[in-house]
Amino acid sequence: MSGQKRILLIISGGIAAYKCLELIRRLREKDFLVRAILTKAGSEFVTPLSVSSLTEDKVYGELFSLTDEAEMGHIQLSRDADLLVVAPASADILAKMANGLCNDLASTTLLATDKPVMVVPAMNVRMWEHPATKANMETLNQRGVVQVGPDEGVMACGEYGFGRMSEPADILQAIETHFSQESKPKQSSNTALRALVTSGPTHEAIDPVRYIANRSSGRQGHAIAAALAASGIETILVSGLTDLTPPKGVKLIPIESAREMLAACNDLLPVDITICAAAVADWRVKDAGSQKMKKEKGGLPTLELVENPDILHAISNAGKTRPSLVVGFAAETENVVNHAQAKRKRKGCDWILANDVSEGTGTFGGTENTIHYITNDGVTDWPKMTKQAVAERLVEEILAHFADLGKTTDQAAAD
């Protein structure tokens, strides 16, 4: 499946290093070849023997090892792989990468490489939010380094926030997405098309501290934007707050609320294609507080809710600026197909991709989806697949749709 792609995994220091063992196992299951560099700090958390047992290869660690340099020097290590993955990527190694410092095998290899690099940050939330770390990540992103995570949650230190290393399944999906996009050169015939994708959750303020939101990760919308851009379509992504890295070649417009998302979409019309994959909150607080609401003893606050704008309906019925193709998503917990078919008619969109997000499916916020592809011609049930695969299949349908439109136009001109 990977075509024997070669991964050089650089394991730096941090409690999250244990996740790399699972990542190696998953990579090997997908037929990737994995070679590892283990830093001195990383070896405090996982052993060379455990890493070597899973990679089925020697583990490298010493810059000045005569044996290692003779057998596989750092220059060769840096260029022998198809992709370098730094996981976990500590604040220290990110700083070295951003500033061109190299005092060990890992940092020297990273400086010497001419291959793509992916980093998976993992550190304390305060370290992640420090201006120095933010500046280093911005520098690396500008250089084309792919970033995966970090995730939000409780950390080993007991604090809560962004800084958790992404799960092995998410890292694997990012690696597969990288190689999938790399193997599909942009098609010049699609450059005339322009697409708008919405993604992520919306956050509806209760007061300056609290908000109403949902469990959307934004993975599906971001994957769709990436697949569209990889096909050569000019793509703009309007997204709520996520911890995902914007896809390569995609213009990102960040928003928070449903009203901000609608305003951004209206400003971007007309486009040829709109895909509404965002999980927009149905309601918002009518009068959000300008100050933090205080907990009153013996009483609970009353929140009056009002409906948010219906973005999919608004775009589907935009008159002269309506896109040629409007695609919506229907996340349902019961009667999935019936509810989605009714939604397609009610909203006025062309296609609906319906998926079951009932408890236990793990699809909402997860890495996989089971899609029912609904058009005017009927329903096609897609098998369970990764969100990246869903995105690629949807783009194939879109390209086929516009190819048919082109044939129809040509036939009409000939008649």
Angstrom distance (rounded) from CA 25 to CA 22: 5
Of 366, 343, 338, 369, give the one whose Cα is nearest residue 356.
369
Q: Are 228 and 271 in contact (CB under 8 A)?
A: no
Residue 23 CA: distances (Å) to CA of 17, 131, 177, 318:
10, 30, 15, 46
* The Cα angle at residue 167 between residues 100 and 180, in degrees rounded to 5: 75
Any idea which residues carry the catalytic annotation?
Answer: 157
Of 325, 415, 307, give the one whose Cα is nearest residue 376.
325
Q: Give residue 311's Cα distance to chain centre.
A: 22
DSSP helix/strand/coil, 14: coil
Angstrom distance (rounded) from CA 294 to CA 276: 37
Angstrom distance (rounded) from CA 170 to CA 386: 10
Cβ contacts of 234 within 8 Å, gap of 6 or more: 191, 193, 194, 195
The DSSP letter of residue 189 is G
| Ordered DSSP codes for 83-145 | EEEEEEE-HHHHHHHHHT--SSHHHHHHHH--S-EEEEE---HHHHHSHHHHHHHHHHHHTT-
Name the strand (E) or helix (H) holding 275: strand 273-276
| Number of Cβ within a 10 Å radius of residue 148 | 26
Of 166, 173, 373, 407, give the one whose Cα is nearest residue 275.
373
The DSSP letter of residue 393 is H
Q: Greatest CA separation found in the chain? A: 78
Tokens 């990012």 correspond to 174
